C-alpha cells in the first residue's frame, strides 16, 4: 500500500495503510504535539488529567482569537477578516460566536487527536517494526480531522498562506532547517488525500 490509504479488505467502509516504524513514530509524535498545542479542556484537574464533563459543558469559551498563529488557524474567527477591517458589531458577533463554540470545537479536536494516538498504539508491529493500520469509518473521520489540523499547524509554522508559498518551499535545499517540516507537510497531505479518495471514491 506504499504508506497511503486504500479500502480496508476486512472492514466495510473502512481504510487501511501500511506504515513503517518511522512513519508510526512520526505520526504519533505529531498527534501528541497537536494535543499539547490544543491543551486540556475546561474542567481538567490541576495536573491536566481527567475532565469534569459538567464543568466542560457549562464553561464559557474565550471571546478573543488565540495569539498563537497556529491556534488561530485551528480556531479562526467566524466573521470577516482581521479585526481592524471589521466594524464593532461584527467583532462583537464573532466574539459571542467564539464564546459558545470554541470549547466544543477544541473538545472535538482533542477527541480526534486522541483517537489517532490510540489507533497507532494499538498496532501490532511486524518483524520489520511496521504494521498495517486499519480504520473503521468513524476512526477514518477522526483521522481526517487530525491530518487536516496537523497540516494547518505545520502550514502556519512555515507561513504557508497560498499555493505559491508552498511551491517555494518544495525546492528548499536539504540543509535548510525547514526541510523536515516541509516533508512532513507534503506527506500528511498525501495521506489526507488518499484517505479522502478511499472514503469517497467517486468524489
Going by pLDDT thresholds of 50, 70 and 90, the confidence category of residue 85 is: low
CA distances from 105 to 45, 58, 154 (A): 20, 14, 19
C-alpha cell at 19: 506504515
Q: Average of pLDDT values for 125-139?
A: 89
pLDDT of residue 5: 96
Residue 39 C-alpha cell reads as 491543551
Could you count the other beta carbons within 10 Å of the beta carbon of residue 103? 20
- Whole-model pTM: value is 0.83
- The answer to whether 185 and 160 have CB atoms below 8 angstroms apart is yes
For 50-63, write each residue's pLDDT tens digit: 556 555 555 677 77
Cell of 138: 468513524
Classify burial at 191, counting beta carbons within 10 Å of its beta carbon; exposed 0-12, middle 13-18, buried 19 or more: buried
Type and span of the H or E element at 32: helix 21-38
Beta-ladder partners of 134: 16
Backbone phi, psi, residue 134, to 5°: -120, 125
- Judge contact between 103 and 51, C-beta under 8 A: no
pLDDT exceeds 50 at position 100? yes
Mean pLDDT value across residues 86-114:
85
* CA count, 13 A, side-chain hemisphere, 55: 9
* Highest mean pLDDT of the ranges 92-96, 98-102, 122-126, 143-147: 143-147
Measure the CA–CA gap between 149 and 106, rounded to whole angstroms.
11
Which pLDDT score, from 0 to 100, does residue 153 have?
96
The crossing angle, in degrees rounded to 10, of helices 21-38 and 137-157 is 70
Answer yes or no: is pLDDT of 151 > 70.
yes
CA distance 145 to 138: 11
* 62 or 26, which is more confident: 26
In order of 67, 92, 118, 120, the CA distances from 40 in angstroms are: 17, 26, 17, 21
Q: In what order do the strands lie in the sheet with 15-19?
A: 6-7, 15-19, 131-135
Instruction: Write down how long the chain is.
Output: 203
Query: How high is the pLDDT of residue 44?
Result: 55
pLDDT of the residue at 127: 74
Q: How confident is the model at residue 125 (pLDDT cuts 50, 70, 90)?
A: confident
pLDDT reading at 46 higher than 60: no
pLDDT band at 190 (very low <50, low <70, confident <90, very high): very high
Q: Where are the beta strands (DSSP E) in 63-202?
A: 131-135
Amino acid at each position: 500500500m506504499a504508506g497511503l490509504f486504500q479500502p480496508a479488505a476486512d472492514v466495510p467502509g473502512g481504510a487501511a495503510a501500511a506504515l513503517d516504524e518511522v512513519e508510526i513514530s512520526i505520526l504519533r509524535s505529531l498527534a501528541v504535539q497537536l494535543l499539547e498545542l490544543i491543551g486540556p479542556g475546561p474542567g481538567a484537574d490541576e495536573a491536566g488529567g481527567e475532565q469534569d464533563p459538567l464543568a466542560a459543558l457549562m464553561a464559557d469559551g474565550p471571546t478573543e482569537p488565540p495569539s498563537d498563529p497556529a491556534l488561530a488557524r485551528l480556531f479562526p474567527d467566524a466573521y470577516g477578516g482581521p479585526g481592524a477591517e471589521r466594524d464593532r458589531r461584527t467583532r462583537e458577533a464573532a466574539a459571542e460566536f467564539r464564546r459558545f463554540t470554541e470549547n466544543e470545537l477544541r473538545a472535538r479536536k482533542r477527541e480526534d487527536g486522541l483517537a489517532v494516538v490510540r489507533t497507532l498504539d494499538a498496532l501490532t508491529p511486524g518483524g520489520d517494526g511496521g504494521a498495517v493500520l486499519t480504520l473503521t469509518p468513524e476512526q477514518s473521520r477522526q483521522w481526517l480531522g487530525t491530518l487536516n489540523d496537523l497540516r494547518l499547524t505545520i502550514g502556519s509554522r512555515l507561513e504557508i498562506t497560498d499555493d505559491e508559498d508552498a511551491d517555494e518551499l518544495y525546492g528548499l535545499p536539504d540543509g535548510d532547517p525547514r526541510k523536515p517540516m516541509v516533508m512532513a507537510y507534503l506527506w500528511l497531505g498525501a495521506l489526507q488525500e488518499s484517505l479522502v479518495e478511499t472514503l469517497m471514491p467517486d468524489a
